[in-house]
Structure 1
Amino acid sequence: MNKYKIYGVLVFVMLLWGVNVVALKLLVGAFAPVTMTAFRILFAGIAVLVFLKVTKSLRKITLKELLFITMVGFFNVVCHHFFLSTGLKETSASNGALILGLSPILTTICAVFFLGTRLTFFRFIGVVSGFSGVAFIVLAGSGAVTGGTKGDLFVFLSILTQAISYVFIRRASTTLDARLMTGWMLVTGSAFLLGISFILEPNGLQTMAQTRVDLWLLFLGSALLATAFGHMVYNQAVQHIGPAESSIFVNLNPFFALVSSAIFLKEEIQAAQLFGFLFIVAGVLLGSGLIDKWFNQKKNTINSHV
C-alpha cells in the first residue's frame, strides 16, 4: 500500500474514532459504563484474534511477552477505558473529545521520563500549549477556575494511562507483533474490567438486557469498527510511515468528534472550545517533535549548500 492510500485509511480511522466518542456517550447512558466497556473490549479482542487466526498470524506467546501484555492491558485497557467510560458519563462528548486530543503530548512526556527522549524547546512549548488548550475547554464548561468537572478529570486520566502504556508497547514491540499484542491485551484487559464491574456495578449485567436494536448496532460498531479494526489499522500505519507521521492524523480525532457531537447530540460548540482546540493542535505539532524534525531538515539543507 502506497503512502497516500495509508493517509486515506488513517483519515477514515480518525473519523471512526471521532464518531466513537459520541457512540460511547450514548452507550454509557444506556448501559452500566464499566460492564458495557468490558463486553465491548472483549468483543473487539476476540475479533482481532479471529482475524489473526484466519490470516495465519496467530502464534503462542512467551511468558515474558505475557507479562508485557498484562502491563499494557492494565494501563491501555483497564485504566484507560475505565476512566474514559466513567468520565464520559459526567462530561459532554465534545469536552471529552477535545481533551483526548492531548494524547500525543502526554505520550511525548512519558517518552521523556521513561525512554530518555530529549525535551527540546519546541516540545516544551508544545506541552504548555496543549495543556493551555485543555484549560480553555474545561473553563468553557464550568465558568470558573475551580469548576472543572470530575468527568473532565477522568477523561484526562484515561489518556494519561494510555500514554504510559505506550512505554511498555515500545519495549515489547521488538519481539511481539503489534496486532498480536492488541488482540491479547484487549481480551485480558476486558477480563479485569469485568471483574471490576462486578464490584462497582453489581446490577451491571441487568442493564445489558437491552432490547433496542439501535443500541446493540451501536455497541457492535464501536467494538468491531472503532476498537478492533481501528487499532489494527493504526498500528500497521505506524509500522509503514512511523509514529511521528501517524500522530499528525490524531489531530483529526477531536475535530470529527466535535462535529459529530454537534450533529448527533446537538451539543453547542463554544468559541472557547474551538480556541482550546487550536492550542491543542499547536501543542501536538510542537510536542510530538514534528517541528523539531522540520527545523533540523531545513538546517541540514542550508548547511549542505554552504
Structure 2
Amino acid sequence: MARGLLYSLLLLLMVIWGFNVSAIKILVMHFPPVFIQGVRVFLAGLLVLVILMMLRSFKKISRRNLIGIFVAAIFGVLGHHLCLAMGLTTTTGSNAGLILGLVPLFTSIFAMIFLKEVLTVFKSVGILVALCGVYFVILNGSGPLSGFSIGDLFIFGAVITQAISFVLIKKLTSNLDSRQMTGIMLIFGSLMMIGLSYWLDPIETFTFNQPLYVWLVLLASAIFATGLGHMLYNYAIQQLGAGSTAIFINLTPFFSLLGSAMFLGETIVVEQLVGFVLIVIGVVLGTGMLEDILRNRHRRKIAQSLDV
C-alpha cells in the first residue's frame, strides 16, 4: 500500500475512533452498558478472525502465548471496555474523549516502569502538562456533569487498563502475529464481559425494540472502529513504525469533541479546548515523540552533510 493512501486511511481512522466515543455513548443509553459492549467487541473479534482465516493468516499458538493473550484481554478488553461502558453512563462524551487521549502517555509511563524505558526531562514535563490538561477537562467541564464525576474516574480506569495491555502486547508481539492476537483478545474479553453483564446490568433495561439507527451504530462501531480499525492500525505500525503511527492518535480527542457536539448535542466550552491543547502537548512530550522527531531530523542533517 502506498504511503499516501495509508496516511489518508489513518486520518480517516482517527475520525472514526473519535466519533466512536459518541457511538458508545448512544449504545449505553439504549442497552445495558456492559452487555452491549461485550456484544460489540465480540462482533469485532469475530470479524477479525474471519478475515484472517480468509487470508489464511491464522497460525497455531502455543499455550504460553494463549495465557499471555488471555491476561492482555483481561486488561485491554474486559477492563478497558467495562470501564468505558460504566463511565459513559455518567459522564459526557466530550470529557470521555479528551481523557482517553491520555492512553499513549500512560502507555509510555508504564513502559518506563515495567520495560525500564528512560524517563527524560521532556517526558517529565509532558506528564505534568498533560495532567494540567486533565484538570481543565474534569474540573471545568460543560453541562450538568461539570466537575469531577464517578464517570470520569471510570474513564481513567479505561485509560490505565488499556495502557497496561499495550505494554503486555508489546512483549507478546515479539513472537506473535499482532492481528491474530487482536482477534483472539477481542473474543476472550468480550465473552468475559457478556458473562459479567448478568451480574452488573439490570435485566429489565434490555429490549430489542430500538430505533434502526441504534442497530446501525452498533454494527458500524463493531466493524469499522474496533474490528477493521485495529487491523489497519496494526498494519500501519508494521509499515510506518510505531512512532510515526502514534502521532495520528493525537487527533482522536479533537474528533471526540466534534462528535460529541454533532451527535450528542453537547456544548464544548473554552476550558475543554484548553485541556485538549495541553493534553496533546503533554502526550507529544511525554511519549518521547518530540525527541524522536528531533533525533531523526539531526540524523538526516548528519547524513546530508556526509553526502556533500
Q: Cα distance, 1:89 vs. partner?
A: 0.7
Which residue identity does 1:16 align to in structure 2?
I
**Per-residue CA distance 1:128-175 (angstroms, 9 max, x = gap):** 1111101100011289xx941111111111011100001110111011
Secondary structure of the residue aligned to 2:117 is coil
Aligned position for 1:56: 56
Matched residues in 1 for 2:298 and 2:103: separation? 29
Q: Equivalent residue for 2:273?
A: 274
Give the whole-Å Cα distance in 2 for the aligned partners of 1:297 and 1:56: 37
Corresponding letter in the other structure for 2:239: H
Distance 1:262 1:142 in 2: 11
Q: How does 1:146-295 map onto structure 2 within 5 Å?
A: 147-203=147-203, 207-295=206-294
Give the Å deviation of 1:295: 3.0
Query: Contact between 1:142 and 1:148, CA under 8 Å: does it hold in 2?
Result: no
Aligned length: 303
The aligned counterpart of 1:15 is 15
Aligned partners of 1:10, 1:33: CA distance in 2, in Å? 28
TM-score by length of 2: 0.94
1:44 equivalent to 2:44? Answer: yes
Percent identity over the alignment is 42
Partner secondary structure for residue 90 of structure 1: coil
Calculate the TM-score normalised by the size of structure 1.
0.94
Paired residues of 1:80 and 1:158 also in contact (CA < 8 A): yes
Deviation at 1:60, TM superposition (A): 2.4
Amino acid at match of 2:292: K
Q: Which runs of 5+ in 2 are unaligned?
A: none
* TM superposition shift of 1:208: 4.5
Q: Which amino acid aligns with 2:277?
A: L
Go from structure 1 to structure 2 and tell me whether the alpha carbon gap of 1:5 and 1:210 turns closer, same or farther (over 3 Å shift).
Answer: same
1:6 aligned onto 2:16: no
Query: Does structure 2 retain, via aligned residues, the 8 Å contact 1:36–1:208?
Result: no
Pairwise CA distance, 1:296: 2.8
Equivalent position SS for 1:91: coil
Q: Which residue of 1 aligns with 2:121?
A: 121
Structure 1 residue 300, shift from structure 2 partner: 5.0
Asked if 1 retains the 8 angstrom alpha-carbon contact of 2:18 and 2:254, the reply is: yes
Supply the AA of the counterpart residue of 2:28. Answer: V
The residue matched to 2:140 in structure 1 has which SS? Answer: helix
Map of 1:69 onto structure 2: 69
**Structure 2 CA distance for aligned equivalents of residues 294 and 43 of structure 1:** 38
Q: Distance in 1 between matches of 2:301 and 2:63?
A: 50
Q: Deviations over 1:76-95 (max 9, x none)?
A: 00000000011011100001
Following TM superposition, by how much is the alpha carbon of 1:2 offset from its aligned partner in structure 2, in angstroms? 2.4
Q: Report the Cα distance in structure 2 between the residues aligned to 1:52 and 1:297, rounded to whole angstroms.
A: 35
Name which of structure 1's ranges 59-68 and 76-85 shifts more when overlaid on structure 2: 59-68
Structure 1, unpaired ranges of 5+: none
C-alpha distance 293-211 of structure 1, shift in aligned 2 (>3 A): closer
1:64 deviates by 0.9
Secondary structure at the counterpart of residue 141 of structure 2:
helix
* RMSD value, Cα: 1.9
Say if 1:73 and 1:188, in contact at 8 Å, map to a contact too: yes
User: Which residue of structure 2 lines up, in the alignment, with residue 138 of structure 1?
Assistant: 138
Letter in 2 for 1:157: G
Q: What secondary structure is seen at the aligned counterpart in 2 of 1:269?
A: coil
Instruction: Supply the distance in 1 between the matched residues of 2:227 and 2:274 (Cα, whole angstroms).
Output: 32
Q: Show CA shifts across 1:104-144 (max 9, x none).
A: 1001001100111111110111111111101100011289x
Q: Per-residue deviation at 1:262?
A: 0.7
Q: CA deviation at 1:266?
A: 1.3
